[in-house]
Chain A
Amino acid sequence: MLEKALEGSKKYWAWVFFLSALSAIGVYYYLQQFFYGLGITGLHRDVSWGLYIGQFTFLVGVAASAVMLVIPYYLHDFKKFGKIVILGEFLAISAVTMCILFIFVDMGQPMRITNVLLHPTPGSVMFWDSVVLMGYLVINALVGWVTLGADRKGMPPPQWIKPFIYLSIPWAISIHTVTAFLYSGVPGRHFWLTAVMAARFLASAFAGGPALLIILALIVRKLTKFDPGKEPIQALGRIVSYAMFANVFLLGLEFFTAFYSGIPGHQHPFVYLYAGLDGHAELVPLMWTSSIFAVISLTMLWVPAVRRNEGTLALACSMLFISLWIDKGFGLVIGGFVPNPFEEIHPYWPTMPEAFITLGVWAIGFLVLTFLYKIAVSVRERNIGIEIDH
């Protein structure tokens, strides 16, 4: 099926070229970082994780969100998702690829990465995170490839793949839970030390991932002859609204605990992020953008007429995606490091090379996504009108 990615219109190749160029810029700056060290980024001893780890965290959520298609389709026999479940699985593959790349570019000694496997340390959450991410990549690649291959032949997928599909459900939840444990399991970082961290991660993942999928499905429909269908997109819209409500609710709980308890250490990161502390208000505009976008998109999704109109649905989903990207891809990480363990404020802002490396990783992820979607769409275009029961 791979050959499908190698044939396409001029527009297709222009897009591929554009993404390749962005990736190349990213690789160029990564080489600079490789030779100079991570000092090329805006990171320092007080904020030692930043944009890279934020993107990693956010994208684990996007990857896990494929489960929001797999559960209705395979567990509840919701047939409407039959056509787009492959889009979810392929999005997961691209997202996990980006996660792995973001971890890689964040390493101080990338050439020693195999030490994680040579000296396996079951007590370390990081060890488990790498295990579950690799596993998730393999499961989704296998399931996506086998089911699409069967589709191409006009056959239902083989029975032996079913256990892997079911396994992907708890596995998806595990990748995001373990990622949350990276944060919620360390002492002395008030912003992260919260039992609802994993729940928040899952809620924001199940809102942000499907929101992106809605946008992607609409793009696929516009650019190709493959129509994912109106109903699956509406069903996804409902999933996004519920999950986003849960996410905003959980964030509200964090505010209550921090401010009603009155414990200064718990309040400081929130004050720093949303109001500014000791004259430092670097992230306030970003965090308020996130909050306002969250409220607007949630309101839009709640009004049935707005949600049913695909134009406004796409707008709501874009705002929601940006809101979550800021909240989880940036604010969450920085809030854990500012103030530092000495209650001092040392702000962080990404540098140009850091931003280009980040953009490069996204470009590589979208290149993977483009190839995979091209393959899926080509198979679907051939089979228009044929409904295959999985």
Chain B
Amino acid sequence: MSMDRRKFLKIAGISSILGFGASVASATHTIWQKGLYPPQVDKNKEALTAKRWAMVVDMSKFKTEEDVKKVVSACHQTHNVPDFRNPDDSVNRKDEIKWIWQASYERAFPGQDNKYMSEHMKEMPFFVLCNHCDNPPCVRVCPTKATFKLADGITMQDMHRCIGCRFCMAACPYGARSFNWRDPLPFIKNVNKTYPARTKGVVEKCTFCSERLSEGKIPACVEAAPQGGLLFGDMEDPNSEVRAIVSNKYTIRRKPDLGTGPAIYYLIGGGDHA
């Protein structure tokens, strides 16, 4: 069978287009498959599980600055949060990354303060962190699903998918999110090899110690806090301690009027729950 040049080129062209098309199709097919059916791993039997993880901060338990510092550094050390400080030990606000820190009442609850409040109330160190909202604006706005909700109520993030657009930072009404403005590695003093460090250009925040829960451990901050200072549990479980406090005592949440459904409850003037 003879084949002229034109016909040969035609067939060669068509077959290469088909070949290219097929390889593109198979590649996208794999992506879809992976996206729809993520690899399944058996759950750790010791893992702590809940329908809705939540936290109660009992303000009466934090007496000294030491109590507060211990909690913050426990979290930041566990999660390789870099420590940006100026030579004079003041905080370098430009690069600062934080997962949990303290704020005064009028900062944590703007608009709810009044000028006749007691000094004690004004100066109380409120822990502020990600609220793991029921209806998180950060998850809603993320263009790549790099931040997402877990079934147990935790607002998680995938630092390898984050493109660093910082829409979540604009959307979060709690200022809970931090961005890696530069390579954080040189600023991590004692690297925790069991938890990943981040690269520059991604957003991060508190994860309610999702990785510790899966090993059966309570969150690092809860562990470091004075007895009963930070209570962590399943709000959907009627017998849980957090549920008992929220149902029986007067607790407040940050900016509940925004409809985000924060899962951090603050108990002021508690004391006798236990």
The docked-state distance in angstroms from the alpha carbon of A308 to that of B97 is 56
CB contacts under 8 Å to A, within B138-191, are 140-146, 161-167, 169-175, 177-183
29 residue pairs of the A-B complex, CB under 8 angstroms, read A37-B180, A37-B182, A39-B182, A45-B93, A48-B166, A107-B165, A108-B166, A108-B180, A109-B164, A109-B201, A109-B202, A110-B163, A110-B164, A112-B144, A112-B164, A115-B144, A115-B146, A115-B161, A124-B141, A124-B167, A125-B141, A126-B142, A130-B143, A189-B170, A336-B170, A342-B107, A342-B110, A342-B175, A343-B106
**A119 and B35 in contact, given A36-B182, A37-B182, A39-B94 (Cβ under 8 angstroms):** yes
Q: Are B181 and A39 in contact (CB under 8 A)?
A: yes
Q: Are B172 and A341 in contact (CB under 8 A)?
A: yes
Q: Are A121 and B202 in contact (CB under 8 A)?
A: no
Check A188 for interface membership: any CB of B closer than 8 A: yes
Q: Are A346 and B107 in contact (CB under 8 A)?
A: no
Check B49 for interface membership: any CB of A closer than 8 A: no
Give the chain A neighbours of B173 by CB distance below 8 A. Answer: 186-189, 341
A-B interface contact total, Cβ < 8 Å: 149
Give the chain B neighbours of A253 by CB distance below 8 A. Answer: none
The contact size tier of chain A is 35 or more
Would you list the 9 A-B pairs with minimal beta carbon distance, nearest first? A108-B164, A188-B173, A108-B201, A39-B181, A37-B200, A126-B143, A39-B182, A341-B175, A343-B110
**A49 and B110 in contact, given A109-B163, A119-B161 (Cβ under 8 angstroms):** no
Give the chain B neighbours of A43 by CB distance below 8 A. Answer: 181
The docked-state distance in angstroms from the alpha carbon of A182 to that of B94 is 24
- Interface residue count for B (Cβ, 8 Å)? 51
Give the chain A neighbours of B145 by CB distance below 8 A. Answer: 119, 121
Check A118 for interface membership: any CB of B closer than 8 A: yes
Q: Are A112 and B110 in contact (CB under 8 A)?
A: no
The docked-state distance in angstroms from the alpha carbon of A109 to that of B200 is 8
Q: Are B137 and A44 in contact (CB under 8 A)?
A: no
Q: Of all chain B residues, which has the CB nearest A41?
A: B181
Candidates B107, B137, B165, B177; contact of A108 at CB < 8 Å: B165
Check B238 for interface membership: any CB of A closer than 8 A: no
Q: Are B162 and A109 in contact (CB under 8 A)?
A: yes
Give the chain A neighbours of B134 by CB distance below 8 A. Answer: none
Q: Are A45 and B175 in contact (CB under 8 A)?
A: yes
- Chain B, residues 127-141, CB within 8 Å of chain A (1/0): the string is 000000000010011
Q: A236 to nearest B CB, angstroms?
A: 35
Q: Are A341 and B174 in contact (CB under 8 A)?
A: yes
Check A340 for interface membership: any CB of B closer than 8 A: yes
Check A77 for interface membership: any CB of B closer than 8 A: no
**A186 and B171 in contact, given A121-B144, A124-B141 (Cβ under 8 angstroms):** yes
Q: Are A126 and B181 in contact (CB under 8 A)?
A: no
Q: A133 to nearest B CB, angstroms?
A: 13
Give the chain B neighbours of A106 by CB distance below 8 A. Answer: 165-166
Check A344 for interface membership: any CB of B closer than 8 A: yes
- Chain B, residues 84-126, CB within 8 Å of chain A (1/0): the string is 0000000001111100000100111011000000000000000
Give the chain A neighbours of B203 by CB distance below 8 A. Answer: 108
**A116 and B144 in contact, given A108-B164, A188-B173 (Cβ under 8 angstroms):** yes
Q: Are B137 and A39 in contact (CB under 8 A)?
A: no
Check B73 for interface membership: any CB of A closer than 8 A: no
**A346 and B93 in contact, given A37-B200, A38-B201, A186-B171 (Cβ under 8 angstroms):** yes
Give the chain B neighbours of A115 by CB distance below 8 A. Answer: 143-144, 146, 161, 163
Among the stretches B15-23, B56-64, B239-247, B254-262, the one at the interface with A is B254-262
Check B31 for interface membership: any CB of A closer than 8 A: yes
The docked-state distance in angstroms from the alpha carbon of A218 to that of B270 is 73
Q: Are A37 and B201 in contact (CB under 8 A)?
A: yes
Give the chain A neighbours of B108 by CB distance below 8 A. Answer: 342
**A126 and B167 in contact, given A116-B144, A119-B161 (Cβ under 8 angstroms):** yes
| Chain B binding surface, main DSSP class | loop
The docked-state distance in angstroms from the alpha carbon of A341 to that of B177 is 11
Give the chain B neighbours of A125 by CB distance below 8 A. Answer: 141, 167
Check A127 for interface membership: any CB of B closer than 8 A: yes
Q: A34 to nearest B CB, angstroms?
A: 9
Candidates B103, B142, B164; contact of A107 at CB < 8 Å: B164
Give the chain B neighbours of A8 by CB distance below 8 A. Answer: none
Give the chain A neighbours of B163 by CB distance below 8 A. Answer: 107-110, 112-113, 115-116
Check A156 for interface membership: any CB of B closer than 8 A: no
The docked-state distance in angstroms from the alpha carbon of A100 to that of B174 is 29
**A112 and B161 in contact, given A127-B143, A265-B110 (Cβ under 8 angstroms):** yes
Give the chain B neighbours of A110 by CB distance below 8 A. Answer: 163-164
Give the chain A neighbours of B146 by CB distance below 8 A. Answer: 115, 119
The docked-state distance in angstroms from the alpha carbon of A189 to that of B170 is 8
Give the chain A neighbours of B200 by CB distance below 8 A. Answer: 36-39, 108
Give the chain A neighbours of B169 by CB distance below 8 A. Answer: 45, 48
Check A282 for interface membership: any CB of B closer than 8 A: no
The docked-state distance in angstroms from the alpha carbon of A344 to that of B93 is 13
Q: Are B179 and A108 in contact (CB under 8 A)?
A: yes
Q: A103 to nearest B CB, angstroms?
A: 8
- Chain A, residues 176-214, CB within 8 Å of chain B (1/0): the string is 000000100111110000000000000000000000000
CB contacts under 8 Å to B, within A337-367, are 337, 340-344, 346
The docked-state distance in angstroms from the alpha carbon of A21 to that of B166 is 31
Q: A1 to nearest B CB, angstroms?
A: 28
Q: Are A187 and B170 in contact (CB under 8 A)?
A: no
Q: Are A186 and B141 in contact (CB under 8 A)?
A: yes
Identify 8 new A-B residue pairs, CB closer than 8 A, beyond the known A37-B182, A45-B175, A46-B175: A36-B200, A45-B169, A108-B202, A124-B141, A124-B142, A186-B170, A189-B170, A337-B170
